[in-house]
């Protein structure tokens, strides 16, 4: 029986690279992969999943109104696996749709993404994945101090950590850094003492 998988980690934990390596592994066995990415993420351009280490592959961009169950049905019989990068940007309904594909058509669905935003609040898509995925695993990364990174710290143009704002702000290495919660809270105290928040 195929499963709905959620593989989550912080920024910089190699989620996209692992998604692309997984795609390669299936294709090496002559299996067809449907690689998806939410349309909101255009950091690397449209129609491509690209990792920081240089791996990349074309993908299908999906809008938040797209029915992923129906999208799969358009390819039914051709696709052996679905892989989703940046799955935190899926809607809860889209996660449910992918879960039905896995269950009804015995197609593995592997979702790679963040669990929480820069304020440590869950993204709606990630929350739904935690609720219904049959397999959940963490892709670990480390803070500068060497501890396990759990927070996706967002920085402003002056290098200060941001502790308020909209949940979604697409950015890359210069805008976000994975940190442990202890360092994140320590930096917050330091900024509060200087009147920066």
Give pLDDT tens digits for 62-71. Answer: 999 999 999 9
Residue 144 lies in a domain: no
Residues 112 and 186 in one domain: no
Residue 42 lies in a domain: yes
Indicate the number of domains in the chain. 2
Residues 25 and 107 in one domain: yes
Give the H or E element holding residue 9: strand 4-9
Residues 104 and 27 in one domain: yes
List % helix, strand, coil for the chain (3-state, nearest 5).
Answer: 30, 25, 45
1 versus 98: the higher-pLDDT residue is 98
pLDDT digits (tens, 9 = 90+) for 35-49: 999 998 766 667 889
Residues 106 and 84 in one domain: yes
Q: What angle do CA 166, 167, 172 make, to 5 degrees?
A: 100
Residues 85 and 125 in one domain: yes
Bridge pairing between strands 161-162 and 151-155: antiparallel
pLDDT digits (tens, 9 = 90+) for 106-161: 999 999 999 999 999 999 999 999 999 999 999 999 999 999 999 999 998 888 99
Residue 146 lies in a domain: no
Residues 89 and 160 in one domain: no
Q: What SS3 state is found at 193? A: helix
| End residue of a domain, out of 98, 116, 139 | 139
Residues 94 and 155 in one domain: no
When pLDDT is averaged across residues 61-84 and rounded to a whole number, the result is 94
Residues 73 and 27 in one domain: yes
Residues 123 and 28 in one domain: yes
Q: Full-prediction pTM beyond 0.85?
A: yes
Which positions are catalytic? 86
Please check the confidence at residue 166 and state whether its pLDDT lies above 80: yes
Residues 159 and 135 in one domain: no
DSSP 93-141: HHHHHHHHHHHHH---EEEEE-SB-TTSPBPHHHHHHHHH-SEEEEE--
Residue 175 lies in a domain: yes
List the domain range (segments joined by +) for residue 96.
4-139
Q: What is the CATH number of the domain that holds 116?
A: 3.40.50.300
């Amino acid at each position: 029986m195929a499963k709905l998988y959620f593989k989550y980690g912080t920024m910089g934990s190699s989620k996209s690279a692992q998604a692309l390596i997984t795609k390669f592994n299936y294709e090496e066995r002559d299996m067809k992969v449907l690689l998806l990415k939410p349309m909101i993420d255009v950091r690397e351009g449209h129609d491509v999943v690209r990792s920081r280490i240089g791996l990349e592959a074309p993908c299908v961009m999906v809008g938040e109104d797209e029915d992923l169950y129906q999208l799969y049905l358009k390819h039914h019989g051709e696709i052996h696996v679905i892989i989703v990068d940046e799955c935190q940007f899926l809607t809860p309904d889209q996660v449910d749709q992918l879960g039905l594909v896995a269950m009804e058509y015995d197609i593995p669905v592997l979702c790679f993404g963040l669990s929480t935003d820069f304020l440590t609040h869950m993204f709606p898509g990630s929350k739904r994945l935690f609720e219904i995925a049959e397999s959940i695993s963490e892709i670990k990364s480390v803070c500068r101090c060497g501890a396990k990174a759990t927070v996706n710290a967002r920085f402003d143009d002056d290098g200060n950590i941001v502790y308020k704002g909209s949940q979604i702000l697409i950015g890359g290495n210069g805008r976000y850094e994975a940190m442990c919660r202890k360092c994140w809270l320590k930096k917050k105290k330091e900024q509060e003492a200087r009147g920066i928040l």
